[in-house]
């Protein structure tokens, strides 16, 4: 891998903040305080993202999680303000003005308020969210301004850091069509049920038909989750996610999301499920394709879908599973006539 892509792929920390870019030069900064000890506390997960244009304005999203990483969506955010900490003279507070909560549990801050908050977090030694004088959430601390300077150097180097040949080899486009999964009706094969290394039977086996002639199975074991793919008339084959160097890491969690038709896999860092990689993978009918790769190396109990995104394809879309009997399958939508 070219050195420039290695630098983009490497996370950079400053206090509670982490800068993470990806090969498209899109950079993200995430900040959250350490998990508190001995008492429950609400923590703000602050996510800053900026496009690759030199004049791109950063966007800001904030989520609120408890000490074990659960999203707290019941908080009344209408009167919340950001107050400084550690300054001899306190500047005026900033009203957050959060929008509606989004699917992943975060709120998007309006652009003008986002600019004020980011500017304050660069300058203030510390900050806290309050509601009418009551502390609501702890904000991340650290030299955020230094990470912004690093982001500028990564996104806009003074001279090109990759040759045309390296760019053609590494910065390719990927377009995928993912099949929609169908329910699986049948029994779980014995080779899946007996696949644990330290237990007789697996825990919570699950099967789903990812293609007309192929079924995906996931199963939990003490040593981690396991994944199997079974083609019609054949025995299930276990498979793992491996990196480009061929090294295989155990899955801390592997499950199939029936709503999205994506296989979700968590690869823990040093055995810790609170950090590592969070992958979403779709089946194209002939192979598995990466749809989303997130990474967060700091073990701070942050929901996986808030981790910085380090890779995703150029585009992807769903396709309905083709009929299994030469196009004469019964219609699945009421009122649709047979051809």
Q: Residue 39's pLDDT is what?
A: 67
Token pair 């009706």: residue:
185
Q: Which residues of 198-215 are buried (b: 16+ CB within 10 A; e: fewer)?
A: eeeebeebbbbbbbeebb
Residue 116 vs residues 130, 131, 157: alpha-carbon distances, Å = 17, 18, 27
Is the pTM value of this prediction over 0.95?
Answer: no
Categorise residue 125: left if φ over 0, alpha if ψ from -120 to 50, beta otherwise.
alpha
Q: Residue 325's pLDDT is what?
A: 43
Q: Which of 83-87, 209-213, 292-296, 321-325 has the lowest mean pLDDT?
A: 321-325
Torsional sign, CA 288, 292, 297, 303: negative
How many residues are present in the chain?
339
Q: What share of the chain in percent tops pLDDT 90?
A: 73
Q: Residue 181's pLDDT is what?
A: 93
Q: Say if residues 57 and 111 touch (Cβ distance below 8 Å).
A: yes
If we measure between CA atoms, which residue out of 97, 93, 129, 95 comes closest to residue 110? 97
Q: Which residues of 152-181 are buried (b: 16+ CB within 10 A; e: fewer)?
A: eebbeeeeeebeeebeeeeeeeeebebbeb
If we measure between CA atoms, which residue out of 220, 232, 221 comes closest to residue 184? 232
Residue 335 scores a pLDDT above 60: no
Structure token pair of residue 289: 């394709």
- Which pLDDT band, with edges at 50, 70 and 90, does 286 fall under? confident
Q: Residue 246's pLDDT is what?
A: 79
Residue 12 scores a pLDDT above 50: yes
Torsional sign, CA 47, 280, 304, 272: negative
Higher pLDDT, 329 or 80: 80
Helix (H) or strand (E) holding 9: helix 3-9
Q: Residue 332's pLDDT is what?
A: 43
Q: Residue 328's pLDDT is what?
A: 44
How many whole angstroms separate alpha carbon 304 and alpha carbon 277? Answer: 8
- Which pLDDT band, with edges at 50, 70 and 90, does 67 fall under? confident
Our measurement of the distance from residue 68's CA atom to the centroid of its chain's CA atoms, rounded to an integer in Å, reads 18
Q: What does the DSSP 8-state code read for residue 314?
A: S
- Which pLDDT band, with edges at 50, 70 and 90, does 321 fall under? low
Residue 136 scores a pLDDT above 50: yes
Digit-coded pLDDT (tens) for 227-260: 999 999 999 999 888 877 778 888 999 999 999 9
């Amino acid at each position: 891998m070219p050195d420039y892509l290695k630098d983009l792929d490497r996370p950079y920390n400053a206090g509670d903040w982490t800068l993470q870019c990806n090969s498209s030069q899109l950079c993200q900064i995430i900040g959250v305080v350490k998990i508190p000890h001995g008492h429950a506390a609400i923590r703000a997960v602050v996510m800053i993202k900026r496009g690759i244009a030199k004049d791109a304005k950063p966007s800001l999203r904030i989520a609120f999680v408890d000490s074990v990483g659960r999203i707290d969506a019941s908080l009344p955010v209408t009167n919340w303000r950001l107050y400084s900490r550690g300054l001899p003279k306190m500047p005026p507070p900033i009203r957050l003005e959060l929008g509606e909560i989004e699917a992943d549990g975060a709120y998007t801050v309006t652009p003008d308020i986002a600019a004020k908050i980011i500017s304050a977090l660069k300058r203030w030694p510390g900050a806290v969210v309050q509601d009418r004088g009551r502390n609501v959430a702890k904000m991340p601390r650290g030299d955020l301004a230094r990470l912004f300077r690093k982001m500028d150097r990564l996104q806009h180097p003074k001279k090109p850091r990759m040759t045309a040949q390296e760019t053609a080899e590494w910065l390719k486009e990927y377009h995928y069509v993912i099949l929609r999964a169908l329910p699986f009706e049948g029994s779980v094969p014995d080779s899946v049920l007996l696949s644990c290394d330290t237990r007789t039977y697996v825990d919570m086996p699950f099967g789903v038909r990812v293609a007309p002639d192929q079924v995906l199975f996931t199963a939990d074991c003490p040593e981690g989750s396991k994944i199997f793919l079974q083609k019609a008339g054949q025995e299930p084959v276990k498979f793992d996610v491996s990196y480009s160097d061929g090294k295989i890491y155990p899955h801390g969690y592997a499950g199939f999301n029936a709503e999205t038709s994506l296989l979700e896999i968590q690869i823990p860092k040093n055995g810790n499920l609170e950090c590592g990689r969070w992958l979403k993978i779709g089946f194209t009918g002939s192979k598995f394709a990466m749809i989303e790769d997130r990474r967060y190396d700091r073990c701070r109990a942050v929901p996986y879908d808030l981790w910085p995104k380090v890779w995703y394809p150029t585009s992807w879309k769903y396709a309905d599973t083709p009929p299994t009997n030469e196009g004469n399958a019964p219609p699945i939508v009421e009122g649709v006539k047979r051809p």
